[in-house]
Structure 1
Amino acid sequence: MKLTDFEIQSIDKILNATCIPQEGSLVDHIYSVLRENIINLSLLPDMPLVEKEIAAIFQISKTPVREALIRLANDRLVTIIPKSGSYVTSISLESYLEACFIRGSLESACAKRLAEKGISLAEQVKLNSIIAEYSQTPPKTITDDDKAVFCPFAQLDELFHQTLFEYLWYFRCMVIT
């Protein structure tokens, strides 16, 4: 069994299908596209992010790309090294384990609070529908070009956890008012 199933691709193959929307800031769009591809590991840690290359892919100037990279650096997803370039930030094992601990603590506390207060029938139905879809979605999907895509599975997982926190937030707002 393989531990990883990653195929290293050039950035133009990763970003080539993305189009620029007519609405919204160009910087926001470039930021969102790069962020999503970093988070889902399409852009691997330590991968160089060349402004000129990214600008050519989107057929835009380098300025919005540079601004998006600066925002990603502020989020600690990109490391900018002066006179060297920009790179996807390496994943720190210590930071990863800390994030897992924090997320686990928050989620278990959230589940405990929701179990204590109970959730409505509508909330139960929504959670059950997410779980049903989640259980029928493979962890990865293989596309026509043999590329593994993790998005549907990860999006459903994120939706489930986000929904739990929304229910808890709604409950807290109801108690406060």
Structure 2
Amino acid sequence: MARWVPDTPERLQRAALELFAERGYEQTTATEIAQAVGLTERTFFRHFSDKREVLFHGQQSLTDAFVSGVRHAAPDLQAVELAASAIRSAAFLFPDEKRSQSRARQRVIDGNPALQEREALKLIRLGAALADALRARGVDDLAAEVAAQTGVMVFGIAFARWIRDGEQRSFGQIVDEVSRQIGDVVRPLHTGT
């Protein structure tokens, strides 16, 4: 009987990324991923519905962190400030030691249109959850949608910069920079100039 080993999903993720980089996403099977860490295909499917989900494991944690950031934010914040709080509350999911794994994951996604579609769907769902959390805080529909979409855009740009080769700044530092830059870009819309 196989002995239980902790962190099985993470081990499967690391093995999958290595195999995807070595052989390609389409050429790698769930069985090969499981065998790479000494597990069976059945164990793989206990943790993931298919090999695609190896790349998207943790999506619920990201959504939960965003929603928690809105729920626990100061009561007097505006909608966009609440969205910024959501992003900051998720920054712990992107520690520096996970940057190389995130880069490898993104390379796999960038090389496969079906995975790109799944990544886009993830961001849409994240935006919908953020908008719902903002509405639950009493933000009106339009402000909730604008703030949620802005928040997801800031997150996406910050993530892309965080995984760039040679980038050393923390995810939180990059989020702050992107937030300021987006504010500068859209300010003329507000002032009418």
- Structure-1-length-normalised TM-score: 0.31
Which structure is richer in relative contact order (CA contacts within 8 A, separation 6 or more)? 2
Structure ranking higher in helix proportion: 2
Return the structure number with greater strand share. 1
Asked which structure has the greater CA Rg, the reply is: 1
Give the alignment's TM-score, normalised by structure 2. Answer: 0.29
